[in-house]
Amino acid sequence: MHERIREDLLNKERALWTALTSADPAPAVQKLCNPEANMIFPQMEVLTLEDPSQLEAALKPPFHRFDGYQLDDVRTIVIDLMAGSVTYKIRAIRGKNEYHATACTTWSQASDGEWRIVCHQETLL
Protein backbone atom coordinates (compact mmCIF):
# COMPACT_ATOMS: atom_id res chain seq x y z
CA MET A 1 0.00 0.00 0.00
CA HIS A 2 2.77 2.46 0.90
CA GLU A 3 4.52 1.84 -2.41
CA ARG A 4 1.35 2.76 -4.31
CA ILE A 5 1.00 5.95 -2.25
CA ARG A 6 4.64 6.86 -2.99
CA GLU A 7 4.04 6.31 -6.70
CA ASP A 8 0.82 8.41 -6.65
CA LEU A 9 2.55 11.26 -4.82
CA LEU A 10 5.50 11.30 -7.21
CA ASN A 11 3.10 11.38 -10.17
CA LYS A 12 1.26 14.30 -8.58
CA GLU A 13 4.57 16.11 -7.98
CA ARG A 14 5.43 15.71 -11.65
CA ALA A 15 1.97 17.05 -12.54
CA LEU A 16 2.72 20.12 -10.42
CA TRP A 17 6.00 20.76 -12.23
CA THR A 18 4.41 20.12 -15.61
CA ALA A 19 1.84 22.78 -14.71
CA LEU A 20 4.58 25.18 -13.59
CA THR A 21 6.29 24.79 -16.97
CA SER A 22 3.09 25.59 -18.91
CA ALA A 23 2.25 29.00 -20.32
CA ASP A 24 -0.76 29.38 -18.01
CA PRO A 25 -0.08 27.36 -14.84
CA ALA A 26 -2.61 28.92 -12.43
CA PRO A 27 -5.67 26.79 -13.38
CA ALA A 28 -3.77 23.50 -13.22
CA VAL A 29 -1.95 24.43 -10.01
CA GLN A 30 -5.23 25.53 -8.43
CA LYS A 31 -6.84 22.14 -9.28
CA LEU A 32 -3.95 20.37 -7.52
CA CYS A 33 -4.37 22.39 -4.31
CA ASN A 34 -6.33 21.89 -1.14
CA PRO A 35 -8.50 25.02 -0.59
CA GLU A 36 -6.27 26.00 2.36
CA ALA A 37 -2.96 25.35 0.57
CA ASN A 38 0.12 27.53 0.94
CA MET A 39 2.56 27.96 -1.93
CA ILE A 40 5.97 29.30 -0.89
CA PHE A 41 8.14 30.32 -3.83
CA PRO A 42 11.50 32.12 -3.45
CA GLN A 43 11.36 35.91 -3.33
CA MET A 44 7.54 35.98 -3.26
CA GLU A 45 4.90 36.43 -0.62
CA VAL A 46 3.21 33.24 0.58
CA LEU A 47 0.46 32.42 -1.92
CA THR A 48 -2.84 31.01 -0.68
CA LEU A 49 -6.15 30.11 -2.26
CA GLU A 50 -8.08 32.23 0.24
CA ASP A 51 -7.97 34.84 -2.49
CA PRO A 52 -7.68 32.86 -5.78
CA SER A 53 -6.85 36.07 -7.63
CA GLN A 54 -3.55 36.22 -5.69
CA LEU A 55 -2.41 32.89 -7.15
CA GLU A 56 -3.74 33.81 -10.58
CA ALA A 57 -1.89 37.15 -10.50
CA ALA A 58 1.39 35.53 -9.43
CA LEU A 59 1.18 32.85 -12.14
CA LYS A 60 -0.66 34.77 -14.86
CA PRO A 61 0.27 34.48 -18.54
CA PRO A 62 2.73 34.93 -20.04
CA PHE A 63 4.17 33.22 -16.95
CA HIS A 64 6.42 30.48 -18.20
CA ARG A 65 8.76 29.79 -15.40
CA PHE A 66 10.72 26.91 -16.94
CA ASP A 67 11.25 25.16 -20.24
CA GLY A 68 12.14 21.90 -18.53
CA TYR A 69 12.90 20.41 -15.15
CA GLN A 70 14.57 17.48 -13.44
CA LEU A 71 13.85 16.12 -9.96
CA ASP A 72 16.86 14.62 -8.15
CA ASP A 73 17.35 12.98 -4.75
CA VAL A 74 13.61 12.40 -4.51
CA ARG A 75 12.31 11.11 -1.20
CA THR A 76 8.64 10.32 -0.74
CA ILE A 77 7.48 10.00 2.84
CA VAL A 78 4.16 8.38 3.65
CA ILE A 79 2.78 10.16 6.72
CA ASP A 80 -0.32 7.98 6.85
CA LEU A 81 -2.73 6.49 4.32
CA MET A 82 -4.09 9.93 3.49
CA ALA A 83 -1.02 12.18 3.72
CA GLY A 84 2.50 12.27 2.43
CA SER A 85 5.41 14.51 1.60
CA VAL A 86 7.80 14.63 -1.36
CA THR A 87 11.23 16.23 -0.93
CA TYR A 88 13.81 16.67 -3.68
CA LYS A 89 16.30 18.87 -5.46
CA ILE A 90 14.94 20.63 -8.52
CA ARG A 91 16.99 21.67 -11.50
CA ALA A 92 15.02 23.69 -14.00
CA ILE A 93 16.01 25.67 -17.05
CA ARG A 94 14.61 28.57 -18.98
CA GLY A 95 16.67 29.43 -22.00
CA LYS A 96 20.24 29.73 -20.70
CA ASN A 97 19.18 30.37 -17.10
CA GLU A 98 19.25 27.56 -14.58
CA TYR A 99 17.26 27.30 -11.39
CA HIS A 100 18.53 25.13 -8.52
CA ALA A 101 16.50 24.63 -5.36
CA THR A 102 15.38 22.16 -2.79
CA ALA A 103 11.65 21.64 -2.60
CA CYS A 104 9.04 19.94 -0.50
CA THR A 105 5.36 19.37 -1.13
CA THR A 106 2.99 17.98 1.47
CA TRP A 107 -0.07 16.26 0.06
CA SER A 108 -3.34 15.09 1.61
CA GLN A 109 -6.00 12.91 0.13
CA ALA A 110 -9.32 14.71 -0.25
CA SER A 111 -12.74 13.16 0.30
CA ASP A 112 -12.97 12.55 -3.47
CA GLY A 113 -9.83 10.38 -3.30
CA GLU A 114 -7.65 12.90 -5.12
CA TRP A 115 -4.29 14.00 -3.72
CA ARG A 116 -4.15 17.74 -3.08
CA ILE A 117 -1.31 20.09 -2.14
CA VAL A 118 -1.38 21.30 1.45
CA CYS A 119 1.93 23.14 1.27
CA HIS A 120 4.62 23.54 -1.40
CA GLN A 121 7.93 25.24 -0.65
CA GLU A 122 11.06 25.93 -2.67
CA THR A 123 14.40 27.09 -1.27
CA LEU A 124 17.08 28.40 -3.62
CA LEU A 125 20.48 26.71 -3.55
> Residues 125, 99: contact at Cβ < 8 Å?
no
> How much is the pLDDT for 64?
60
Amino acid at 14: R
Q: What is the pTM of this model?
A: 0.92
Q: What are phi and psi of 7, to 5 degrees?
A: -65, -45
Residue 72 belongs to domain with CATH number:
3.10.450.50
> How much is the pLDDT for 37?
95
Domain count, the chain: 1
> How much is the pLDDT for 62?
60
Output the 3-class SS for 47-96: EECCCHHHHHHHCCCCCCCCCEEEEEEEEEEEEECCEEEEEEEEEEEECC
> How much is the pLDDT for 50?
87
Average pLDDT by consecutive 10-residue portion of the chain (125 residues)?
Answer: 95 94 87 94 88 82 76 97 97 90 97 96 95
pLDDT in tens, 56-79: 888 876 666 788 899 999 999 999
> The domain containing residue 72 runs over which residues?
2-124
Rg (CA), the chain: 14
> Residues 81, 70: contact at Cβ < 8 Å?
no
> Residues 87, 123: contact at Cβ < 8 Å?
no
